[in-house]
Chain A
Amino acid sequence: MKEFLRSMATRRWFLKTSGAATLTLASSPSMAQPAAETPPLSTEHVDLTINGRPYALDLDPRTTLLDALREHLGFTGSKKGCDQGQCGACTIIVNGQRINSCLALAVMHDGDEITTIEGLVEEGVLHPMQAAFVRHDGFQCGYCTPGQICSAVALLSESRQGWPSYATADVATAPALTDAEIAERMSGNICRCSAYPNIVAAIREVAGEGSQ
């Protein structure tokens, strides 16, 4: 396990460094077509706190939070699956709430606090949810996993605040996290390897630890 963590840290260092090198390249969201009312290209200044550290960027306002993280800052843990808010691979936690970063314009999040999958490890130790996904084999190819785990971490926070879901029989009550509740609350994260039973088991285990 320690070797695995060391290699992960090295990989993250490499990605961050190589990501920084691409910072000077222009952002180039594709398909920009000149139109009669097209305003001149401009950049907007954006300050973000990511995993506890400040980052300052000048971005084309078309840049999504996902592209800012992946292409401008090298946080490639968050994945681009569908790029239209359907698959959940890009799920990150912004100001304590999980969102699809592919549908968020980075400029609209100036000043926000962001947690990505890279921020869940603390001092080289996996977050309990990451460890539970490993223990329960909550993935196969792994592409959806960073989004699944960020989503699951936020799910526990929502549950602690007593949020109901569509699976809750009486929405005026704060329901226990049954498998049906977990499945409903995770429906924004698709896993095409279909590791769903093990994902639910991992979340159930961490939820149970928290309630003891």
Chain B
Amino acid sequence: MNPFRYERASDVASACASAARPAAKFIAGGTNLVDLMKLQIEAPAQLVDITRLRLDRIEETADGGLRIGALVSNSAAAADMRVRRRYPLLAQAILAGASTQLRNKATTGGNLLQRTRCPYFYDTSKPCNKRVPGSGCAALEGLNRMNAVLGVSDNCIAAHPSDMAVAMTALEAVVETIAPNGSTRAIPIDELYRPPGDMPHIETVLEAGELIASVLLPPPPAGRQIYRKVRDRASFAFALVSVAAILDLEGERVRAARVAFGGLSYKPWRSAEAEAALVGAPATRATFDAAGAAALQNARGYGRNDFKIPLARRTLRATLTQAAGLA
């Protein structure tokens, strides 16, 4: 690990000012960053410890939503009875990720900003445009079964690893930030992540020193919420494919639907195509298969991850079948 200067921030303004310096980084739970620092994939010259800032509360909003502070641990968010009752999708997704030890440490803001687990991002002996811009992408022709099939480029096919963010995307969460100049922004979570394009090392729209203060959950939409994750082990493994679905039925027809996938793209992948195929249609296997076909129509496999395309279609069908009460 490279040496770094350590600073314990006591207020948001000084934290943002410090983190705006070159090679400075915020640290909260540290479960991802410390690991990457040991491997010298991350080598910040300064760490700004924000864990003493009072961003660790979950508050009701006037319209019936919740505001989750950036420092609320993943465990605390999943254990909160308001989250469990009104946003079971989110509790399920958080609990599907990592282990209890990691969730106790990992924070809401940090979970959103965790880096990909692409094996070539971790292997410093191999090219990776995300780790060393311009060096190439070893995953394109490599062991890419965990990599993305939607929305990526030939410069980078890394997948975003979060479960929590997939549920938040289906819930249309809003990421609330504070910049070093004191200005605030409300960023729809679907607009937080930048497509890799030709600059895969720049992963979000956040500016230097801009701090995630909270995540706003709008009031829960009507319908049954389900998070389903497919992985290589029953527990403590990243998703091959996951689906966050919210399905609202009127009789046997779909009144409203939200669909987001994990494991398929550089970000949680909200599928407007799948939702359009569902709304107004009968809640049947044929409709769910049509939604899956629509969602994956532009997908592209890179060899060892080709299986993700049919797997995503089938996982969506299984999730919607369960949400419709047909399973």
Contacts of B236 in A (CB 8 A): 187-188
Contacts A83-B38, A188-B100 given; does A62 touch B31 at CB 8 Å:
no
Complex-state Cα separation, A184 to B95, whole angstroms: 10
Tell whether A88 pairs with B101 under 8 Å between CB atoms, given A61-B47, A103-B30. yes
Given A32-B1, A44-B6, does the pair A166, B102 have CB atoms closer than 8 Å? no
Q: Is A24 close to B, CB under 8 A? A: no
Give the residues in chain A near B45, CB-CB below 8 Å: 35, 37-39
- Given A88-B101, A172-B85; A187-B235 close (CB under 8 Å): yes
CA distance A91 to B5 in the complex (A): 27
Residue A211 CB within 8 A of the other chain: no
On whether the beta carbons of A171 and B88 are closer than 8 Å, the reply is: yes
Number of interface residues of B (CB under 8 A): 44
The CA-CA distance from A48 to B223 in the complex, in Å, is 48
Contact: A187 with B95, CB < 8 Å? no
A residues less than 8 Å from B98 (CB atoms): 188
Q: Roughly how many angstroms separate A91 CA and B33 CA in the complex, as a whole number?
A: 18
Tell me which residues across on chain A come within 8 A of B142, comparing CB atoms. Answer: none
Contact A166-B6, Cβ < 8 Å, known A29-B1, A88-B101: no
Residue A158 at the chain B interface, CB threshold 8 Å: yes
Interface of A is mostly: loop
Known: A39-B46, A85-B31, A108-B27. A32 touches B3 (CB 8 A): yes
Name the A residues within 8 Å of B104 (CB-CB): 97-99
List chain A residues, Cβ under 8 A from B102.
85, 100, 103, 188
**Majority DSSP secondary structure for residues of B touching A:** mixed
Report the bound CA distance from A104 to B22 in whole Å: 24
Q: Tally chain A residues at the interface, Cβ within 8 Å.
A: 51
Which residues in A have some Cβ–Cβ distance to B below 8 Å? 29, 31-33, 35, 37-42, 44, 60-62, 64, 83-85, 88, 91, 97-100, 103-105, 107-108, 110, 151, 154-155, 158, 161-166, 168, 170-172, 183-185, 187-189
> When the two chains form their complex, are residues A108 and B49 in contact, meaning their CB atoms are under 8 A apart?
yes
User: Are B96 and A166 neighbours in the complex by a CB distance under 8 Å?
Assistant: yes
A170 to chain B: closest CB distance in Å?
Answer: 8
B54 beta carbon closer than 8 Å to chain A: no
B99 within 8 A of A: yes
In the complex, A60→B31 CA distance in Å?
19
Question: Is B6's CB under 8 angstroms from A61's CB?
Answer: yes
